[in-house]
Amino acid sequence: MGDLGITALLIAALFLILASGVWIGLTLTGVAWIGMQLFSSRPAGDAMAVTIWGSASSWTLTALPLFVWMGEILFRTRLSSDMFRGLAPWMQALPGRLLHVNVVGCAIFAAVSGSSAATCATIGKMSLPELKSRGYPDSIAIGSLAGAGTLGLLIPPSIIMIVYGVSAEVSISQLFIAGVVPGILLAVLFSGYLVAWAWRHPQQVPPADRQWTLAQRLSESRHLIPVVLLIAAVLGSIYAGIATATEAAGVGVIGALLVSAAQGSLSWQTFRESLFGGTRLFCMIALILAGAAFLTLSMGYIGLPRHLAEWIATLGLSQFQLLLALMVFYVVLGCFLDGISMVVLTMGVILPTVQKAGIDLVWFGIFVVLVVEMAQITPPVGFNLFVLQGMTRREIGWIARVTLPFFFLMVAAVGLIYVFPQIVSFLPAQMRG
């Protein structure tokens, strides 16, 4: 059977097992086992045991459950409502007023959460009722939240960056630092769109509910102090070279516990809920990563990644054409899979081709995160769309439609980092220097 036949058989097996309702991690393991049994001479059993143990016991992966737990602790504290109080007075002066709280709030929370869904849910829980009560249109409030929620993937610490770093064997600290400027760029693009929307629809923007003096604004800003200190502790320790990404995750958990204790929202119940919530989410991710590691090994024995890389090389694509093809590929894939599955499923196959094309792997990591962000807001499997559907009871098609402008802004951001790669590479170069 040729490469094309093997690929078709394995893809059919993948979708067949997924359609039967089996967990993604177990599906990947099953497909890998089928591939090794049928198309390689290596016994599948011991290879599976060694690979799954190796991927599950990776030291680099330790950062993942810690950052997930940190996000869960903050999700259950008063942090989000305090952020609204601190940000709202400053946003009143901008065209679009409180709509910018969605973008700035998501950007700030992303810097302590690491998860797109957690960012979207936490800020949405805080901002949507407030915006609705003040008379802001649902379409722009929900659309901007869905778009800005994806910043949870790009602004470090990011769960997807850790997964990519482990899969591609790239420094997670370098990836974190590389994500800072593109994350700020995307937040500025989102806010810029809200300004343009407000200028085009001035009658839909409610008037400011009160006038704030500078002293009152500064006084309300004190509510932002805990989250700013936490961001400084986590990212500052990495950037200053004091801590690795894994150690910074430990600092983040301790900081989150201290913040919630200082706010008076840390009880035994919230501690247990955050621990169980974080454990459940990490177990799901770890199972997917273990299955993907075995699938990568299986593909290696069959020789598919090498043959695919050689086939793409024969097409003679330029760097731009290759990246354009990969962007379309990931957006389509995002219609069926979540972001983590997309990264771990494809890295073993795509990385040899990317390296052959001379693309820097840290830059490519940020590119992948950006295109996975797009997948978070494409139906039918856009995670942020699910989160907002659960919160607003709106149809997923309607939410996807009002989010479309933010999808195109992400496409623009990909274009900008391609034309100006220094947006990604400047800070990591300073860190290395």
- Tally of CB atoms within 10 A around 263: 13
Is pLDDT of 305 > 70?
no
Tell me what pLDDT residue 40 has. 76
Is pLDDT of 433 > 60?
no
Phi-psi region of 96 (alpha: psi -120 to 50; beta: other; left: phi over 0): left
Average pLDDT over residues 200-229: 80
Average pLDDT over residues 61-84: 77
Please enumerate in sequence order all residues whose Cβ is within 8 A of that of 288, keeping only pairs 6 or more positions apart, or say none: 24, 25, 28, 340, 341, 344
Q: pLDDT for 370-393, tens place per residue?
A: 998 888 788 766 777 877 887 788
Is pLDDT of 186 > 90?
yes
Expressed as residue numbers, the domain containing 38 is 3-203+210-432
Average pLDDT over residues 70-90: 77
pLDDT band at 72 (very low <50, low <70, confident <90, very high): confident
How far are the Cα atoms of 112, 119, 216, 267, 318 from residue 272, in angstroms, in the given order?
Answer: 20, 20, 37, 9, 52
Greater confidence, 257 or 212?
A: 257
Tell me what pLDDT residue 221 has. 82
Number of domains in the chain: 1
Is pLDDT of 413 > 90?
yes
- Measured on CA atoms in the order 20, 24, 28, 33, is the torsion positive or negative? negative
Q: In terms of Cα–Cα distance, which of 428, 402, 426, 333 is closest to 371?
A: 333
Question: Cα separation of 86 and 218, whole Å?
Answer: 9
Tell me what pLDDT residue 118 has. 74
Lowest mean pLDDT across 376-385, 397-406, 410-419: 376-385
* Displacement of CA 108 from its chain's centroid (Å): 14
Average pLDDT over residues 216-223: 82
Tell me what pLDDT residue 10 has. 80
Question: Cα separation of 261 and 283, whole Å?
Answer: 27
Average pLDDT over residues 415-429: 92
Is pLDDT of 420 > 90?
yes
How far are the Cα atoms of 19, 311, 343 from residue 12, in angstroms, in the given order?
Answer: 10, 21, 19
Tell me what pLDDT residue 364 has. 96
Q: pLDDT for 243-262, tens place per residue?
A: 887 888 888 899 889 988 88
Q: List own/partner pairs for 78-82 with CB under 8 A and 24 or more apart.
A: 78/263, 78/264, 78/265, 79/109, 79/122, 79/226, 79/227, 79/259, 79/260, 79/263, 80/105, 80/109, 80/122, 80/123, 80/125, 80/126, 81/126, 82/223, 82/224, 82/226, 82/227, 82/263
Average pLDDT over residues 226-249: 82
- Of the ranges 163-177, 321-335, 339-353, the best mean pLDDT one: 163-177
To the nearest whole number, what is the mean pLDDT of the chain?
A: 83
Tell me what pLDDT residue 368 has. 94
- Tally of CB atoms within 10 A around 188: 13
Q: pLDDT for 34-68, tens place per residue?
A: 888 888 777 778 788 888 888 777 776 777 788 77
Question: Cα separation of 21 and 202, whole Å?
Answer: 48
> Could you tell me what percent of the chain has a pLDDT over 90?
20
Is pLDDT of 308 > 70?
no
Q: pLDDT for 109-163, tens place per residue?
A: 888 777 777 778 778 877 888 888 888 898 999 999 999 988 888 888 788 898 8
Lowest mean pLDDT across 149-153, 206-210, 235-239, 328-332: 206-210
Is pLDDT of 301 > 60?
yes
Tell me what pLDDT residue 356 has. 83
- Tally of CB atoms within 10 A around 218: 12
- Measured on CA atoms in the order 94, 178, 174, 246, is the torsion positive or negative? positive
pTM attached to this predicted model: 0.78
Question: Cα separation of 47 and 35, whole Å?
Answer: 12
